[in-house]
Amino acid sequence: MKNVIGGALSKLDKQSVVTAYRRQAPIYDIVFGVLLHPGRIGTVKLINQTAQGRVLEVGVGTGLSLPRYRKDLRIVGIDISDDMLRLARQRTREKRLGNVEALLNMDAEQLQFDDNSFDTVAAMYVASVVPHPDRLMREMQRVCKPGGDIFIVNHFAEDGGLRGTIERRMAALSHKLGWRPDFKLAPFMAHGTLEILARYREPPLGLFTILHCRNEKPAAVAAEQEAAAD
């Protein structure tokens, strides 16, 4: 089965995501560059206003956001698609982005970083693409320091109205689209213990939302991680 721009996506599993983004990589910036740019610009602007130290960008894609980060921040990007990462690395070289520490092939659902490795974590247009959003949430919280910031940009489906109806109908096409149009905010947030500090609706048509969250780790988890670090 093909998705709308040619990727094989019979279901949202790891291999089908890799295959889809192999096909999408060469045209990704043209198709999704401008369309998804407001959420990216808005997120990096917020990060630049607040962040210190190390930032992890999960599902960094072709690295469209990378040139916008403050130069004193150290950025690590991960993605599951080598084809997308190749373009991110090329951008980093061409623009001489010395603040990009590493661009690594890694599964966001199973991050190869120690607990509390990052001050800030961002996931832009990734939550409704990964096969298991619960694992993404758990991993983002684990690698982010307690009290650190987590930024999530995504389309979140609505319950009612015309938009809700369209989203519910489109959900049947998830396997073709390569993302879930009926991806809802509340069940996703219920997978973790994030506190939403602010939310911003972004163009086009307010379809995308930036969530600025605080990484509130449950006391038991924080204590366990501290003990392991000693």
Verify binding: residue 213, ligand SAM, rule CB under 6 A: no
What is the greatest pairwise CA distance in the chain?
54
Does residue 84 interact with ligand SAM by CB under 6 A? yes
Choose, by CB under 6 A, the member of 129, 140, 211, 213 that binds ligand SAM: 129
By C-beta, is 79 or 115 nearer to ligand SAM? Answer: 79
Residue 61 as a binder of ligand SAM (CB under 6 A): the answer is yes
Residues 182-211, mask of contacts with ligand SAM (x by CB under 6 A): ------------------------------
Candidate list 125, 151, 156, 188; residue touching ligand SAM; CB under 6 A: 125
- Position among 3, 7, 9, 40 found at the interface with ligand SAM (CB under 6 A): 40
Interface with ligand SAM includes 80 (CB under 6 A)? Answer: yes
Give the nearer residue to ligand SAM in terms of CB position, either 81 or 141. 81
Distance, CA of 116 to CA of 136 (rounded, Å): 15
Secondary structure letter of residue 59 according to DSSP? T
Give residues 4-33 in contact with ligand SAM (rule: CB under 6 A). Answer: 17, 21, 32
Q: Are strands 144-154 and 208-214 parallel, antiparallel or unpaired?
A: antiparallel
Measured at CB, which residue is nearest to ligand SAM? 61
Using DSSP bridges, classify how beta strands 100-105 and 74-79 pair: parallel, antiparallel or unpaired: parallel
Size of the site for ligand SAM (CB under 6 A): 22
- The DSSP result for 109-157, as a single string, is TS--S-TT-EEEEEEES-TTTSS-HHHHHHHHHHHEEEEEEEEEEE---
How far apart, in whole angstroms, are the C-alpha atoms of residue 206 and residue 229? Answer: 42
- 54 in Cβ contact with 115 (< 8 Å): no
Specify the residue for token string 């009290």. 147
d(CA 156, CA 128): 9
42/59 with CB nearer ligand SAM: 59
For the chain, where are the E strands, in sequence order? 54-58, 74-79, 100-105, 118-124, 144-154, 195-202, 208-214
Residue 102, beta-bridge partner list: 76
CB of 25 to ligand SAM, least distance (A): 8
Q: Which stretch binds ligand SAM (CB under 6 A): 45-53, 60-68, 198-206, 216-224?
A: 60-68
Stretch of 92-100, 119-127, 137-145, 160-168 lying at the interface with ligand SAM (CB under 6 A)? 119-127
Instruction: Give the residues lining the site for ligand SAM (CB under 6 A).
Output: 17, 21, 32, 36, 40, 59-61, 64, 78-81, 84, 107-109, 124-126, 129-130
